[in-house]
Structure 1
Amino acid sequence: MKLCLVLVLLLGGSASGDIEKRILGSTECKKDRQYHVQIESVQGGRSCGGALLNTRWVITAAHCAGQAIKVKLGLNNDVSIFTKAFSLMKGNSKKHEQTVPVAQQHAFKDEEGKLHDIVLIKLNEDMSAKTPTIDLHSGECSRPPPKAKVQVGGMGQAKTGGKPVKEVRCATTEISACGENDKPADAYHSDETTTMCAHRPGVEACFGDAGSAVEYEGHLHGIIVSDPVDKCANQIVMLDICYYMEWIEKTMKEN
């Protein structure tokens, strides 16, 4: 992800201006995280990740939406260049970049009307049934225990205005205790029942990684809500998907 494993590089002979913050220690996802989507505001200035749940629905952080957005799908699909060319000729490419209005964005509000930093996005057109999706729990869902290894990924930049990242990056971090100030932005409600954190030396969530999926034992278990701007965040703050499972299923069924 630009889960920036931001370490100090000592490159002899390199001018300091040529050293760009980049992902270190994370790897190209290759065949992993093929469900990843990129979300950008139509007006510009906002970039996030997300995950495809099924042929019609995407999940991400609420602060990534709330206005018309471009959803880019199939960025890491394991298909040949010939398949991509055939898809383009058939006109399927428009499905892989859809502009979704606010009316099709469903943010979570609790019983007290407080907004949480999570949203479901209904696409304009169904993706192919062959498009990779991330698995949701079909039965009991419980939070990963402390020190459990979870997988994170994305296409974030080290800072606002940084160089675009052209590939989805993957890394592993560990569930840890949240600090007093580890929570979503003040506009969103959170507490110990909704929020969890992860930390591993060198693994950081960067600008554009918010909304990306947190995967544990092959299932979606979290959504990154850390939203750093000028530097990356080593303590990654996430919403616990288990808390929202009933809402996710109900929203997709009723809309």
Structure 2
Amino acid sequence: MGEVTAGLFVPQRQHGSILRTGFHFSRGKWKGQQLKNIWVWQCQAVTQSKSLIAIKNQMLNPSTYSSRIATDIPLYESPGASFDQYLEDKPRVFKAIFPDKRRSQQLNEEEWRIQMLPIQFLFLTVWPVVDMRLRCKSEGKDYPPNVPRNITKVLELVITRWELQGLDNVLEPSQFTLGVKGALYPDRLGMRSRLKGQLEINISFALPPMLALVPEDVRQSVAELVLKRLVENMKDKVNGSLLADYSEFKRKKSNNLV
């Protein structure tokens, strides 16, 4: 009986092959399953590791988005109230573009601080606070790119400082950059004048973990839509309120001459 029992635990040769029976077969199957589990865990670990590396690389390499828009509309000037004269009154021009006094304050002769409306980007909502400088340039000196040197007067808009409120626990200030450049000028051809301008917004930031997993094409589409709305809003104010204020400027100048 003991020999029979022992025979269950040792290999037996039959027809030139080794057969495992009893405990040895079960143990071998268990070991195979264990090795399979280890292999699965290793694959999962490698996959997770690659995902973490990809996210880390995305966070280290900032994503950059930009939007640019131009305006070109008829400009009706009068001899005693040229658009050049109007641009020289920078506080008036600023007020025409940013009429909400509650969200702006003048810092010096050329700079204003603006609390912009909230910007929503996927899961994030931010409240930008920017310092904008308005500076007049003439005689072709230091004109912005794409502005002809024969233009008599150019108003340049540049953001000199920014702060993003609402991202304290998401992004460090060093992980975000914001650039806004614009120009506004009268382009005269014979007796006709046109108001021309350009505005460009660039943002660059290291992706926080909550955005790193969002596909790049989705992020690109949303970012471009957000920036496009911002520049179109600026363009609407130039085409609307700025020209309306210039008309008021001409009317007052005309009344003073009478």
Band of TM-score, shorter chain: under 0.3
| TM-score between the two structures when normalised by the length of structure 2 | 0.25
Structure 1 length as normaliser, TM-score?
Answer: 0.25
Q: Which has the larger radius of gyration?
A: 2
